[in-house]
Amino acid sequence: MERIAVVTDSTSDLPPGLARQYGIHIIPLSVVFEGKKYIDDGKSIKLGDFYRKLKASRNMPMAAQPSPGDFMRLYSRLLKDHDNIISIHISGKLSGTYNSAALAKKQLGHPGIEVVDSGFVHMACGFMAMEAARLASNSSDAGEILRRIKAFRANIWSLYCPFTLDNLIKGGRMNKLAGAFAGMLEVKPVLTIKDGEVSLFKKARKWEQAKDVMISAIKDAASGNDSLVISVADVDARKEADSISGRIRDELKPRELIRTEVGIVVGSHLGIGGLGITCHL
C-alpha cells in the first residue's frame, strides 16, 4: 500500500481540527502589513488582532507565497516516511504558490510528488485536500486519487460576498470587473471563482439581498441532493456567519455543515465583514 501525504496551503482556511483529523499538512503563506510580516498559521498573530489592525488602517496587506525552498523542506521531511505526496493549492491565477510547489518538485526530482492547481481558493481547495486525504486513508493509490479529485472538483462551488469592495479593489482582484459596477452605489456583489479567477456571479443592492442570493443559488444547484457538504466562513463577522449557517441548516439541510474563519491572506482581500460559502454538490 502506498503511503501518501496530502499537502495544501493556508489559503484553504481548513479548520485546524479538520486538518488534524484528516492528517493534512498545511504550508502557510504570509502577509506583510505596515512593515511587519505575519505568517498565516494562526500563531504568528491571532485572527481577531489582525482584523482589528486591518480595520484601523488604510493600507493593504501584501501576500507572499511560500518559497520553493519552503516546499522542498516540507516535501523532503514527508518523503522520509511517505512514498508519494499530493500537494493541492490555490489557483495559480491568484497566487504564485502553485509555481513555488512545482519548482520544488522539479528541483527535488522525486517521481512521487504531484502538484495540483485546484483552480480555487479557500475551502474549495480545502474540500479537495480533504477528499484526497480520505481516499489515501482508504488505500487508493496516487493515480486513482488524482483522477477522482479531478471529478470531485467539478462539483465544488463557492460564493463570496464582500461587505465593501475596498480591499478587493486595492488588492487588484476587481480590475476586470470594474465596469460591471460603474454607476452603482453601495453595490453588494456576490462573487465566485471561474476559470481560476474572481468573477461576478450576481449583483445585489443591499446586504440582506446578497445573502439571499447566495442561499437561493446554492438551493437551486443542490435541489434533490441529500449529500450536500457546505462550509460557511467569515472575516470578523461571526454573528452574520452564524445567522446564515442557521438558515442553511434549516433550508438546505446539508449532510455536513462546517463553520470556519477566513485566514489573514484571503481575508485581506475579501475585507472585514465578508462572507464565504463553499459547497460540494
For the chain, 281 residues long, give each residue's pLDDT as a single digit of tens.
Answer: 789 999 999 999 999 999 999 999 999 999 999 999 999 999 999 999 999 999 999 899 999 999 999 999 999 999 999 999 999 999 999 999 999 999 999 999 999 999 999 999 999 999 999 999 999 999 999 999 999 999 999 999 999 999 987 767 766 655 555 545 544 556 789 999 999 999 999 999 899 999 999 999 999 988 878 899 999 999 999 999 999 999 999 999 999 999 999 999 999 999 999 999 999 99
The domain spans of the chain are 4-29+65-153, 156-280
Q: Are 13 and 261 in contact (CB under 8 A)?
A: yes
Q: Are 128 and 150 in contact (CB under 8 A)?
A: no
d(CA 79, CA 277): 34
Closest CA to 266 of 114, 54, 67: 54
pLDDT of residue 1: 72
Name the nearest CA neighbour of 192 among 157, 227, 167: 157
d(CA 113, CA 4): 10
Instruction: Check if 4-29+65-153 and 156-280 are the same fold.
Output: no
Neighbours of 56 (CB within 10 A): 9
Q: What is the pTM of this model?
A: 0.93
The SS3 call for residue 205 is: coil
DSSP string for 108-144: HT-TTEEEEE-S--THHHHHHHHHHHHHHHTT--HHH
DSSP 20: H
d(CA 29, CA 41): 8
Considering the segment(s) 156-280 as one domain, its CATH architecture is 2-Layer Sandwich (3.30)
pLDDT value of position 48: 95
State how far the Cα of 101 lies from the Cα of 72, in Å rounded to an integer.
8
Per-residue pLDDT, 179: 47
Phi–psi pair at 171, nearest 5 degrees: -85, 0
Quickly tell me which residue has 475551502 as its cell: 123
**Neighbouring C-beta atoms of residue 127, cutoff 10 Å:** 27
What pLDDT does 222 receive?
Answer: 87
Strand partners for 117: 89
Residue-level pLDDT at 183: 45
Are the beta carbons of 259 and 275 closer than 8 angstroms? no
Q: Which element (helix H / strand E) includes 75?
A: helix 68-78
Measured between its terminal Cα atoms, the distance across the chain in Å is 30
Q: Which of 165, 172, 128, 121 is nearest to 148 (CA)?
A: 128
CATH assignment of 4-29+65-153?
A: 3.40.50.10170
